[in-house]
């Protein structure tokens, strides 16, 4: 739980200090409160969720026990083949900008975890909102974290205060 609070603090601070798309950028914490973990049921977490160009996904996990590979193809994704990844993530808190349309594939760097369902494919849609979708959860001073693991960020001064509060709570 503490690592997810820390991720949310990093998300808020990053958006406050350097968000390029101030208006509609959404930050998704993969797996919600449990983060990138077998117990989080990443497949259920991602179902029905919309990912758009300009959004960012955040992976929170125990770096000593886990890593994440972004793989090239649906075949590598299905077979949990991390022999030729696009990129490996091993920091424990990784923010990945969704900067182009298309499908991206992420799998656990541990074959056993991947085969047990710790993998995520993300279909990134164009920026904007051409069709109605499920409401996205907003982060406000009264609600610094969201159970859904997503946040729409507005107003840099409120975000700075919330980010500082979350950092304080994580210590």
CATH superfamily, with its number, for domain 2-170? Cupredoxins -  blue copper proteins (2.60.40.420)
How far separated are the first and last CA of the chain, in Å rounded?
Answer: 12
| CA 158/CA 95 separation, integer angstroms | 21
Helix axes 2-18, 156-170, angle to 10 degrees: 150
Domain ranges of the chain: 2-170
Span 111-170, pLDDT tens digits: 999 999 999 999 999 976 555 445 454 443 333 344 444 444 434 433 443 454 454 445
Structure tokens at 41: 């049921």
What pLDDT sits at residue 109?
A: 95
Average of pLDDT values for 105-116? 95
Mean pLDDT for the chain? 75
pTM for this model (two decimals):
0.65
């Amino acid at each position: 739980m503490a690592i997810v609070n820390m991720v949310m603090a990093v998300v808020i601070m990053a958006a406050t200090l350097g968000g390029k798309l101030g208006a509609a950028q959404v930050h998704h914490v993969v797996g919600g409160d449990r983060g990138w973990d077998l117990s989080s049921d990443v497949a259920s977490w991602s179902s029905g969720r919309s990912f758009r160009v300009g959004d960012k996904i955040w992976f929170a996990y125990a770096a000593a026990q886990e890593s994440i590979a972004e793989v090239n193809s649906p075949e590598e994704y299905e077979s949990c083949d991390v022999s030729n990844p696009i990129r490996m993530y091993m920091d424990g808190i990784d923010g990945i900008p969704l900067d182009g349309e298309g499908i991206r594939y992420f799998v656990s760097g541990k074959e056993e975890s991947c085969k047990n369902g710790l993998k995520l494919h993300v279909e990134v849609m164009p920026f904007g909102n051409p069709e109605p979708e499920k409401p996205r959860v907003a982060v406000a001073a009264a609600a610094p974290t969201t159970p859904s693991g997503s946040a729409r960020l507005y107003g840099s001064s409120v975000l700075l205060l919330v980010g500082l509060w979350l950092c304080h709570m994580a210590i």
